[in-house]
Amino acid sequence: MSLKIYELNEEFKNIVPQEIVALQENATWGNPKRGVMDLPVAKELLEEHSLCAGCPEAAALRYILASLPNPEDTIIVNSTGCTSLMFPHIALHTVHSLFGNQNSVATGIKRTLEWRFPDKVKDVVVLAGDGATVDIGLDYTLQSFFRQEKITTICFDNEVYANTGGQESGLTPKGHVFKMAPKGKQFEKVPMWQLAIDSGCHYVARLTVSSPKRVEKVIKEAIYVAREVGPTYVHLYTPCILEIGLNSDDGLDEMRSRDKERFKFFEYKTPEAEEVIAKYKEEGLL
Amino acid sequence: MSPIANKESKEQKNRAGQKIVSPDYLLFEAPREKHFMTGSEAVKEAVKRATVDASVSYPITPQSEAAHLIGELWAEGYVGVYFRGENEFGVMSEVAGCSIAGARTITTTSGPGTLRAMENFPMWSGTRAAMQLVLMARGINAPLTIQPDNLEVSFLLDTGCMIWYAENVQELFDMILAGFVVAEQPDVHVPVITAVDGFFVSHTREAIYLPPDDIALPPYDPYKAPMPAIDAEVPPGRFLRDPFVMKSNYISYATHASWQFEVRAAIERSRPYAKHYLKGLTEEFGDKDAEIVFVACGTAASQAKEAVRVLEAEEGIKAKVVKLKTIRPFPYEELLEATKNAKYIFVPEFNVVGWLEREVRRALYKKSDAEIIGTPRVAGGMTMPKEAIVKEVLEIIPARR
Amino acid sequence: MAKLGPAQYSPYPVAVYEGVLNPPPGKALLFNDIVDEETAMREAAKAMLTRENATIFPGPQVLYAWNEEAKKKAKLIKEMAEVLNAKIIPMYDYRPKYPKIDPDIEINPNHPNLTIWHNKIKACIFIGVHCHYANVALKIIRSETDCFTIAMCSMAGHEDAMITVRDQHSEDLEKFIEIAKEVKKELGLA
């Protein structure tokens, strides 16, 4: 149990900001049944960050952090992009590293923690944008799948390089006009979920984050399967409202409309994954 | 005296079952036996005695054999984590993950692999990962070559990593062990790149003296690192190893500047440790007061030593070699002291740009009246025969007089 | 450490570039000089007792109860603050904080100068801060402020502080507290 790293010495409890005491006392630690329903009542693992108001990516990260079954022993590896603006504020051990190498860094961490702590469960989760996962980092993403690394990879797909000012990415749908694609994108959106299946992932899901409960279920299944079987991949649509010209309260509607088309809920499980999921269901953890 | 406390452990064993001994015992006191082996095999022997937790490999000539042999150690239970990565960019990120998660980590590469991995090296030092890269120097494309040439080292000089240069198989063995000890000091804790000339050292069989293989270095303690290990076992619980620092209060540009200075300061702090474990940052050979001085590293130093012998025996000319064992930190004081009588400083090198000559010029600027001569300079796999060095000296010096 | 700040705009030159390295085991650093630990402790106590708004900045290694040593040190730091009439302002984590820190109650390694300016702190002790962050912060403090910095390090020390003592474990803190009590008496402050 690593919870002790959040426990303040009594001598200092009255001098640290309330948010730090709350992290120790009111966050949901040591409870694998935690989930998005805790959000209104529990201390969240994400402090204030600098994403745009109404950004669906921020909502996605809050749902994911609320759903981690084992946060006190979870390491998150991130990459460059809008997500880097949130990462310092996550109350877990996290790494940024470079742009695109997230699955490589996560591989090293996961394998080392298995070697150093053979009797402990340490979950390693990768959280990166579409540029990091599919363009600059595609090789490292897929290679970690080929090698059957026990890592959960989550892609925040906003279909654009948002942090750098709105350039076309491999996950931009064909025809969309962005910077660097002034005549519209010339080729199809990369079907990353299918590449994940073909590359050996045991659990793959594609969805928008319009339904927090569904995000919770997917994240938990992906983490449990990664822990026991091998790589898992979750593809989330988190639109950049800024770059597609929407208002800050339009994100949810945008996702709901895509729920019916290119981000229609899709799930894939290998037989080994089915077994693990059944086991955790039986234990009441899913 | 040792700059660190060498606590003799009470018959403790590492996970491979080897007896843990102090670095000083392993490097200086343990009885040694003579063997005959290549540089690649010496890498294996060093790693075997270094209580290594993790290594990731990728094939590229001439370092492949060293990487295979580390794999054999993994199969034999001496190394905890080992696999083949997808390419050098991936490998150098994978070892970064291993290192910051608390593993004593080593990897190897050469030439084009170094350049493919380049973005990782400043990341390693910036995130204070105290790992070791054994670099078996080879030429850089284009055009393609697999031959020895150390141009790649010049690209690494300002990555914030320590750079050491071993001359031969024996020195490579000792440097790898010393490399872990120095790099892991809490006030140093930056990566060390241990360079050798490809083929000339990696593939050449030489005499080497090894301590027994049932003793090994104490394990790495990640909780002495200057940053929390990424293992969720050390506070603060909210910790991003390498954050976007300019986004704090939107004003803290000084953080990044200070952070970079800190990484360079860490290299400077390695001096007393490196002096102890390498028995000096430089090594001198030949006539102490000679006016002709060769400043070199790696096998260029070996060849210069041979040239010194020839100059003395055949021409009656006194000369000396100052071999630099560390390039980062650069041995300024040692070089200045060793060249105080010098009139001519030759810098023989295995590359076309003369990066070591530049370093020497910078170090001695306005501090030495000696003429600095960047020659001989060979590259692309050429050898540097002692006769060539002697010829340069005999041609250049009379012309100056 | 050559001299008290403010040095200049950028955190350069850092102490190692002026030839100042950490003290060897058993010794301490007082500005440029390697001195006995006791001498450094006396000077540290004196600085804390005589300079305005002296403050102790405890870091995560002592703020959290993650091992027995940390629990012991927490008690001792409280006692130390009482003896030195010092405030305690925590550096509870190292994140670049958004949107801003509250300099009344916290210090952040990315801009430690804000807390020092705001509270007009003229002497401080770093303790339990991971070495990299202490070093980053100490460089900024010297470049931007005239605060007298003291680093009580459980590892090898911090040459960018004006005084650094090294290998400080709970028994060494007890020793420092005793010395501080003596100095306080000598200064007629007890």
ipTM: 0.97
Of the pLDDT bands very low, low, confident and very high (cuts 50, 70, 90), residue B252 is low
Mean per-residue pLDDT, B28-35: 98
Within 8 A of A110 by CB-CB distance, chain B residues are: 97
Residue to substitute from B57, B79, B121, B242, interface A, most A β-carbons within 10 A: B242
B186: preceding bond cis by omega (within 30 degrees): no
Q: Measured between CA atoms, how close is B291 to chain A, in angstroms?
A: 49
pLDDT of residue B250: 56
Asked which of A1-15, B82-96, B374-388 is least confident by mean pLDDT, the reply is A1-15
Residue C13 confidence (pLDDT): 74
Q: Give Dmax (Cα) for chain B.
A: 70
For the domain made up of B284-400, give the CATH fold. Answer: Rossmann fold (3.40.50)
- Within a domain: C3: no
pLDDT in the model for residue B3: 66
B363 SS3 class = helix
The per-residue pLDDT for B249 is 57
Q: In what order do the strands lie in the sheet with A123-129?
A: A266-269, A203-208, A232-237, A152-157, A123-129, A74-77, A93-95, B239-240
Q: Do A23 and B237 touch (CB under 8 A)?
A: yes
Band the pLDDT of B1: cuts 50, 70, 90: low
Q: Do C139 and B128 touch (CB under 8 A)?
A: no
Q: What is the pLDDT of residue B366?
A: 97
Please answer yes or no on whether C105 and A8 come within 8 Å at the CB atom.
no
- All structural domains of chain B with their residue ranges: 19-223, 284-400
Q: What is the pLDDT of residue C9?
A: 64
Mean pLDDT of chain A: 96
Rounded to 5 degrees, what are φ and ψ at C130? -55, 140
| pLDDT for A48 beyond 90 | no
pTM of full prediction above 0.95: yes
C156 to B5: CB separation less than 8 angstroms, yes or no: no
Cβ(B220)–Cβ(B184) below 8 Å: yes
Whether C77 contacts C56, CB under 8 Å: yes
User: Under a CB-based contact definition with an 8 Å cutoff, are residues A158 and A240 in contact?
Assistant: yes
**pLDDT beneath 70, residues of chain C:** 1-3, 7-10, 12
Query: Would you call C130 and B226 a contact, using CB atoms and an 8 Å cutoff?
Result: yes
Cis peptide before C58 (omega within 30 of 0): no
Which pLDDT score, from 0 to 100, does residue A222 have? 98
Please write the tens of the pLDDT for every residue from A59-73. 999 999 999 999 999
pLDDT at C18: 86
Q: How far apart (Å, rounded) are the C-alpha atoms in residues A162 and A220?
A: 28
Give the residue from B134, B224, B145 showing the smallest Cα distance to B187.
Answer: B224
Closest CA to B266 of B66, B124, B106, B62: B124
State the nearest Cα–Cα gap between A149 and chain C, in angstroms: 29
User: How confident is the model at residue B297, as a pLDDT?
Assistant: 98
Two tokens, residue A174: 């064909």
> Distance between CA atoms of C63 and A10, rounded to whole angstroms?
9
Examine residue B236 and say whether the peptide bond preceding it is cis (omega within 30 degrees of 0). Answer: yes
**pLDDT value for A75:** 98
Q: Is the pLDDT of residue A1 over 60?
A: no
Torsion angles phi and psi, residue A51, rounded to 5: -75, 160
Å between C36 CA and nearest CA of chain A: 31
Give bridge partners of residue B289 from the DSSP assignment: none
**Is the pLDDT reported for residue B36 higher than 90?**
yes
Residue C159, in any domain of the structure? yes
Q: Hey, is C150 helix, strand or coil?
A: strand
Query: Residue B7 above 60 pLDDT?
Result: no
Name the residue with tokens 């200045």: B336
Q: Does residue C10 form part of some domain?
A: no
B283 vs B9: which has the higher pLDDT: B283
CB contacts under 8 A, B 237-296 vs C, are 237-240, 243-252, 254-255, 257-259, 261-262, 264-265, 268-269, 271-272
Whole-number Å distance between alpha carbons of B217 and B52: 9
**Where does the pLDDT of residue B398 fall: very low under 50, low under 70, confident under 90, or very high at 90 and above?**
confident
B246 burial via Cβ count (<10 Å: 0-12, 13-18, 19+): middle
pLDDT recorded at residue B243: 86
Q: Average pLDDT over chain B, rounded to whole?
A: 95
Give the domain CATH number at A41.
3.40.50.970
Q: How far apart are CA C184 and CA C179, in angstroms?
A: 9
Q: What is the pLDDT of residue A89?
A: 92
Give the pLDDT mean for A156-177. 96
Assess B118–A contact: CB distance below 8 Å, yes or no.
no
Which chain C residue has its CA at the smallest distance from A88's CA? C95
- Residue-level pLDDT at B5: 57
Q: How far is CA C101 from CA B191, C2, C111, C115, C179, in A?
A: 33, 30, 9, 9, 34
Cα gap A133→A123, rounded to integer Å: 19
A85 band by pLDDT with thresholds 50, 70 and 90: confident
Phi, psi (degrees; rounded to nearest 5) at B313: -75, -40
Q: Which of C74, C89, C102 sits opposite A11 (nearest CB)?
A: C74
Q: What gap in Å lies between CA B196 and CA A22, rounded to an integer?
A: 53
CATH for B19-223 (3.30.470.20, 3.30.300.20, 3.40.50.970, 2.60.40.1170): 3.40.50.970
Give dist(CA C48, CA C124) in Å, integer.
Answer: 7
C-alpha distances out from residue B359 to B282, B295, B373, Å: 15, 11, 12
**Torsion over CA of B279, B284, B285 and B286, rounded to 10 degrees?**
-140
| A vs B: CB pairs below 8 A | 157
CA-closest candidate to residue C164, choices C175, C173, C174, C153: C153
In whole angstroms, what separates CA C174 from the centre of its chain? 16
Chain B CA closest to residue A90: B238
Q: For residue C181, what is the domain's CATH number? A: 3.40.50
Task: List, for residues B107-131, the tens digit of each pLDDT value.
Answer: 999 999 999 999 999 999 999 999 9
Give A-chain residues touching C63 at CB under 8 angstroms. Answer: 8-9, 12, 16
Paired residues of C163 in beta bridges: C30, C150
User: Within 10 Å of residue B337's Cβ, how many Cβ atoms?
Assistant: 12
Number of structural domains chain A divides into: 1
Three-state DSSP class for residue B107:
strand
Would the pLDDT of B159 be above 80?
yes
| Chain C: closest CA distance from residue B72 (Å) | 36
As for how many domains chain C has, the answer is 1
Structure-token pair, residue B133: 């890269």
CA–CA gap between residue B56 and residue B245 (Å, rounded)? 30
| pLDDT score recorded for residue B248 | 57
Q: Is residue C167 part of a domain?
A: yes
CB contacts of B187 in chain C (<8 Å) are 22, 131, 155-157
What tokens were used for A199? 């590359």
pLDDT in tens, B12-27: 999 999 999 999 999 9
| Burial (0-12, 13-18, 19+ Cβ within 10 Å), A182 | exposed
Residue A163 neighbours by CB distance under 10 Å: 18
pLDDT value at residue C190? 81
| C12 vs C143: CA distance, rounded Å | 7
Range of the domain at A167: 33-282
Ranking B155-169, B237-251, B299-313, B382-396 by mean pLDDT, the lowest is B237-251
How far apart are the C-alpha atoms of B20 and B216, rounded to whole Å?
A: 5
**Residue B99 C-alpha from the chain's centroid:** 18
C-alpha B354/C-alpha B372 separation (Å) is 12
CA distances from A229 to A201, A223, A243 (A): 9, 10, 38
The candidate with the shortest Cα–Cα distance to A215, out of A225, A203, A207, is: A207
Q: Which two tokens stand for residue A279?
A: 């086991």
Distance CA B3, CA B26 (A): 16
- Domain span at residue C153 reads 15-186
CB proximity A89 to C under 8 Å: yes
Region A175-197: what's the mean pLDDT? Answer: 97
pLDDT mean over A236-256: 96
3-state SS track over chain A = CCHHHHCECHHHCCCCCHHHHHHHHHECCCCCCCCHHHCCCCECCECCCCCCCCCHHHHHHHHHHHHCCCHHHEEEECCCCHHHHCHHHECCEEECCCCCCHHHHHHHHHHHHHHHCCCCCCEEEEEEEHHHHHHCCHHHHHHHHHCCCCCEEEEEECCCECCCCCECCCCCCCCCCEECECCCCCCCCCCHHHHHHHCCCCEEEEEECCCHHHHHHHHHHHHHHHHHCCCEEEEEECCCCCCCCCCCCCHHHHHHHHHCCCCCCEEEECHHHHHHHHHHHHCCCC
Query: Backbone dihedral region of A168: left (phi > 0), alpha (psi from -120 to 50 degrees) or beta?
Result: beta
